[in-house]
Chains A and B, each alone.
Chain A
Amino acid sequence: MRSESIATFLHRLQHALRGYTFMSGRVTDEIREHLNDAIEAGLRRGLSAEAATANALARFGDPVQIADEFQHVYRWEHTVWCMARLALSVLASIAAAIAVQVLINVRIALKTEVVRIAPGFSRATLISVAIVVGIAAAWEIARRPFDTRRTVVAILAYSGICATVQWLVAWGWTVFAPATGLVILGYLCARFEPRPRRLLLLFGVFAISLYAAHMGVRGNFGAKEALTTSGALLVVWMSTVAILARFDHAFLDTVNS
């Protein structure tokens, strides 16, 4: 009864403090010891184990409200923590995108040098990188539960990256503008069910958007290239989302351990 009640109480507290893993361990340990002290004091006063436990928990207060106060104390650390997670997600996504891009290019290069995945390898890679950065930002914005601070941080981080790239290369907008559009379209399409239809629709939207985007930049980008590139983007999209989901699970596992 005693350990079960404390475990339930601490679980509620940890759940309310998810996303604050940098401090929730210490808080949980402190509060566990406090509750054990309070229960032992109740037992010494002659209460039964059940009554002592119930009394200790009642005196301690609502875990959700306590977690809310802790969140207020650690709001700046939480913002930094969110930014670090975003940066980690972006780095992982970029690594995945580059790996996929390299694999696809190597595979195509082995078959024939005539078929190219995009007009220029460097620009195609940058577009893919921009897309995964966009996906990482969109993930942080859209995933439940919605969090205003996380959304603001994600938008600022994405805007900052766009501005930095634009500052470094004059044609940066030709990379990030279609990438942002593709991420928005991909996000909208990804909401459709069931999965095969959703992926097919996403693939189609990628192909049409890429074809249209390249037609605006340079003419020699045919339907075949658009379909091949869209297939690659679909893989990039799925791997990025899978990586981001795993990161989140890892963080949640830390909370629940």
Chain B
Amino acid sequence: MNAETLKGHLELLLLAAIQAGPAHGYAIAERLHAKSNGLFDLPEGTLYPALHRLEHAALVTSRWSQVAGRRRRVYQLTPKGRRALTQHHGDWQEFARAVHGIVGDLA
């Protein structure tokens, strides 16, 4: 999928990926890749500025942690992040229904 298309929904995708449990950047990238069956293949480096942006907005928190003997920055959803995820999810479903209503008949 086009990276630019994906970027518009990156916040929702990251919040959803972190909701599954606290994770470091590489694990989050792996979750996105696995859950989308390899379709979401945006440059992994773009995840980090987005994660830092979420942290700035207090939607996630992060801390250094030892994972498998290595020092990793682990991200976790905050209560505000959970509320934002619910909101984004609702918006997305509404948007998807609307798009499907228009282009669904084309097939």
A contacts, CB < 8 Å to B: 23, 26-27, 29-31, 33-34, 36-38, 59-63, 65-66, 69-70, 72-74
Contact = CB atoms under 8 A, between A and B. Distances in A.
Contact of B45 (A23, A29, A63): A63
Contact of B43 (A60, A73, A74): A60
Nearest to A9: B45
Interface in B16-72: 24-26, 29, 43-46, 48-50, 52-53, 56, 70-72
Nearest to B47: A34
Nearest to B29: A34
Task: Please report whether the interface of chain A is mostly helix, strand, loop or mixed according to DSSP.
Answer: helix
A79 to B, nearest CB: 14
Chain B interface bracket (under 10, 10 to 19, 20 to 34, 35 or more): 10 to 19
Contacts of B73: 26, 29-30, 33
Contact of A70 (B24, B43, B49): B49
A70 B48 contact: yes
Contacts of A37: 26
Contacts of B29: 34
Contact of A33 (B46, B50, B71): B71
B45 A72 contact: no
